Amino acid sequence: MAMTGQGDSVAVERRLGRAVLFLQQQAPMVTNNVIRADIATLLLAGQAMDFASRMHGYGRITNAQAIRHFARLSGIPESILSLQVLPVLKQANVIDFTLDSDGVVQSVEEFVGVGGTVIQQTFRVLGQLRPSEEELALLHSVEIASWAPLTKTQHLDQIVRLGISDRAAARGFEISLATSINRRVFSSDLNEDVIFNPHVWGTNQIQMASFLRNLPPGERDALLSICEQASTKPGSTLDAVGGNPSILKSARKVGLIQTGTVKSNASGVPLSQTYVFSPLIQTADDQSTTTEALHLRKLFIAHILFGREKAMLGRGRINDPVVLVSKLLNYGSVGPATNIGTDYHLLESHGVVQVEELPNGRAFLKLVKEEIVRDGLDWLKASIGNVPGEGSSLKVENAPGMFVTPEEDRSKLADDAASDEITTATILELRKEVQRAVRSESPFGR
C-alpha cells in the first residue's frame, strides 16, 4: 500500500512522519484500550523514534543499562526492545546494534539525522512496520487537519483521494477525534463540523500576524498580542503574557499558542511555572535534523529559565542563563559543580545533556544535542537578552522533576463558552481563507 499520495512526495513523507510524532505526544492521553490496540503500529513507530531521538548525539552507547533506561523512558519494555524495536530501527537505517548470546542488547550505535531528518526517518520506520489501512487513514487525517481546517465532508474526501477506502477513511477519522489529536467546531453557516488540528497554525502558508489583523477588532485585539509575544519572546511566562485569562486559555486549547510547564517538589513545596511558545513552524522544522514535535527546545529553555527565576527568588544559582548556555555550547561542558549530579536529570533523560560525575561528588554537564542547545540559546536571547552582572553556577535547588507538554496542557483545559467563541470564529475564518487561497491556486491547495 502506498503511503504517499498526490503532490510532492518528500513533503507528504515529512508531514506523515511528523504526524506519527504528533500522535506519540498525544498517546499518554489516550486511555481507551481498544483505541490503543487499533493504533498499536503507529504508537510503536512513535516510541521507537522517541527512543532513537533520546540517544541522538551519543554516537555509540555500550552501556546496556543506559540503553534499557532510554527504552523504558519511551515506554518500551526490554522484550519488545530486542525483538522488535531495534530490528525495525536497524532496517530503517536509524541505528545498528549488537546482542549477547542470550539475546540481550549490548550496544547501540545511532545514525539519527544521518540518512535524513528525524521526521524523514520516522516515515521510514513506519514503512518497516506496515501500518493498517485504518492507521494510515488516521495519519492522513492528522496531517490534513494540520494543513487546513476543512468541513468533515471535504476532510474525508481528501483522505479518500489519497487511495484510502471510504470505510478506512471514516474509521481513521473517527479515531482522530477519539484520541483528541484532531478537533472539530460546528459552523452554523455550513451546518457542518469543521475539522482542524491544533498544529494547523504552524503551516508555512499562514502568516499569523497578517491573518489575525484581518479579523474583526474584538477577535484581533484579544489574540494578536498573545501570539506576537509568544513568537518574539519564546519562553515568556504565562503571567507575563497578560491579557484576558479566558482568552489565553482558549488560545492554548486550540493551539494558537503552546505552553510547557515545569514542576518541582525538590524543596518539599510544590512549585511550577508555565512558559509560552509559538506553534511549531513546519517549514523551519523541516530544515532541522531534529523536530520540535518532540518539544526538546521547549524542555531545554523552560528548564534553564526555571532555574533563573528561582535564583531571582533566592532559591537557585543560575544568575545568567545566556552566559551559562553559551559556555556549554562553545566548550562542550560546564562545571564542575555538586548540583549538576542532581539537578539536570530531566534534560539528561531526553538526551539533551549528559552528567559526568567525578569521584569527589562534583560533576560536569556535557553537551549532547548541539542543535537543541544552539536553538535554545537563540530563544533565550530573544526572550530575556543578556543579564549583566554576576557569573553563573549550576545550582538549582528546586530541580525540575516534570515537564507538562502542550498536548497534556490542552487535554486539561476546560471549556469556556465565551472565550471559545472567539477562537472558534478564528478557525472558521481560517477555513474561508483556505478556500479563497485554493481558488487562487495558492500553496494552500493540496
- The DSSP string of 190-231 is TTEEEEE-GGGGGSTT--HHHHHHTS-HHHHHHHHHHHHHHH
Over 60: is that where the pLDDT of 343 sits? yes
* pLDDT (mean) for 278-289: 89
* pLDDT (mean) for 254-260: 92
pLDDT of 174 reads 97
Over 50: is that where the pLDDT of 311 sits? no
* pTM listed for this prediction: 0.88
In single-letter form, the type of residue at position 314 comes to G
Cell of 24: 506519540
pLDDT of 388 reads 47
Over 80: is that where the pLDDT of 434 sits? no
Q: Which residues on neighbouring strands pair with residue 275, listed in sequence order?
A: 237, 260
Over 70: is that where the pLDDT of 394 sits? no
* pLDDT (mean) for 313-336: 74
- Contact present, 369 and 56 (Cβ < 8 Å): yes
CA dihedral 439→208→252→150, nearest 10 degrees, is 0
Alpha-helical runs (H) found in 92-164: 118-129, 133-147, 152-161
pLDDT band of residue 306 (cuts 50, 70, 90) is confident
pLDDT band of residue 386 (cuts 50, 70, 90) is low
DSSP 396: B
3-state secondary structure of 316: strand
- Contact present, 50 and 25 (Cβ < 8 Å): no
- Contact present, 112 and 121 (Cβ < 8 Å): yes
pLDDT band of residue 419 (cuts 50, 70, 90) is confident
3-state helix, strand, coil in the chain (%, to 5): 55, 15, 30
